[in-house]
Amino acid sequence: MTEQGAAATESFGAGNSAASRDKAYFLHPYTNLHAHETQGPLIIERGEGVRVFDDSGKEYIEGLASLWCVSLGWGEERLVEAATRQMRKLPTYHVFGHKSHEPGIDLAERLIKLAPVPMSKVFFANSGSEANDTAVKLVWYYNNALGRPEKKKILSRVKAYHGVTVATASLTGLVNNHRDFDLPIARIHHTDCPHHYRFAEPGESEEAFATRLAESLEALILAEGPDTIAAMFAEPVMGAGGVIVPPETYFAKIQPILKKYDILLVADEVICGFGRTGNFWGSQTMGMQPDIITCAKQLSSGYLPISAVMVSEAVYRACVEESKTIGTFGHGYTYSAHPVAAAVAVETLKIYEERDMVGHVRAVAPLFQRRLKALADHPLVGEARGIGLIGALELVADKETKAPFDPVGRAGAVVNGLSQENGLIIRAMGDSVAVCPPLVIGEEDINLMFDRLTTALDAAIPVLRG
């Protein structure tokens, strides 16, 4: 063992347990690293259906589908078999320099045929962050191809989440993704968050709120200069920012403004795509007409890392012309369209169709939303919001004034911890807690999931108000 390794083991306690080795060697994303040195990890050992089990054998309903992605649950043998077949046939290969393979071709063809609006080509990456980062580069490349070198600014929204690369973390409209990372970078601007409960004026209807946000967006465009703004990124439903469902008519009002000033719309379908909102695409649910679509997560049911960027014919043709001028399209990843990941994604899409997963979501979503919305009456809940099989509860100290608990974030952490103790994994995002189970969940487990969440909320009352 190296001196550094020995020091790490000594610092976090001797022993060969997974927990001690985790604390000694593992740098965790989205984790309070200081707290982790004491608290250590919850180690998940196996999964089955909508449940996971830790290394002590304790069972949990996975109420966030392992970060919004395991649509088909754990133990889907068809995906295991698809990966195994491809591993034996062609375990890896690249798609640079005119090379290709059938899994990548099959997946591209299926995605284009499934797209919510006409799309031309698909580019593959490995995560939602990489897909959105690629979209940023394509937007800039597109405008250079059209001879518009000044049209490069990109709009996002407060509380948006588009990833954690340097560019996509800048698009993300969450403070802790910027603090001390020297972000955001230049040419990224954030417009209003479309959260009616938190940002509407007293007595303002959803439609009036949407109108005001559209007017604010146009004012920002005019202030910056329409000839300098290239694109706007938008999730159909804002996921990691708090599961924020936009107000009625929101996208109907902002899209004409984008068209007016020749600003591309990029639909970030990383969380919403593949049935989550009750349609195959969130863009269909929200009436979006994007020029570029990014997707990931449920593309492979989270079984292997893969993401995709679909582009319109206009964007593709500009890329063709610019690559002709330069001599190459100088962008790509070693694992773009990785054949094993692509084969698993193809099988995932087949399963969605064969089992009518969108139909299943529509069948069970009313119960999910009814149980979710009923928690709006709980003493700790200010708002219960959601659509399809995704939702969130915003926790408040005062339901009438909407005042948060002090310090902000403590209430979410308390409810998150008590849920986990009670056999339910959810996610705290500040003082909102999200629920987003595998799409295959049935009514019995939906009821059990919300029973466990209600128990956790009840147990949180004396902790937060005691």
What digits encode the pLDDT tens for the residues 17-35? 999 999 999 999 999 999 9
- Give yes or no for a contact between 93 and 99, defined as CB atoms under 8 angstroms apart: yes
pLDDT at residue 350 is higher than 90: yes
Instruction: Map residue 242 onto helix, strand or coil.
Output: coil
pLDDT confidence band for 348 (50 / 70 / 90): very high
Mean pLDDT across the chain: 96
Q: How much of the chain exceeds pLDDT 90, in percent?
A: 96
What digits encode the pLDDT tens for the residues 386-403? 999 999 999 999 999 999
- CA-nearest of 160, 162, 290, 127 to 238 is 160
pLDDT confidence band for 446 (50 / 70 / 90): very high
pLDDT at residue 14 is higher than 80: no
- Give yes or no for a contact between 192 and 213, defined as CB atoms under 8 angstroms apart: yes
Extract the runs of DSSP E, i.e. beta strands, from 40-177: 44-48, 51-54, 59-62, 121-125, 153-157
What digits encode the pLDDT tens for the residues 254-280? 999 999 999 999 999 999 999 999 999
Mean pLDDT of all residues in 135-157: 98
Question: So what's the pLDDT on residue 273?
Answer: 98
pTM of the model: 0.96
What digits encode the pLDDT tens for the residues 302-338? 999 999 999 999 999 999 999 999 999 999 999 999 9
Instruction: Map residue 200 onto helix, strand or coil.
Output: coil
| Domains (range + CATH), the chain | 18-75+357-465 (3.90.1150.10), 78-355 (3.40.640.10)
Question: So what's the pLDDT on residue 466?
Answer: 80
Q: How much of the chain exceeds pLDDT 70, in percent?
A: 97
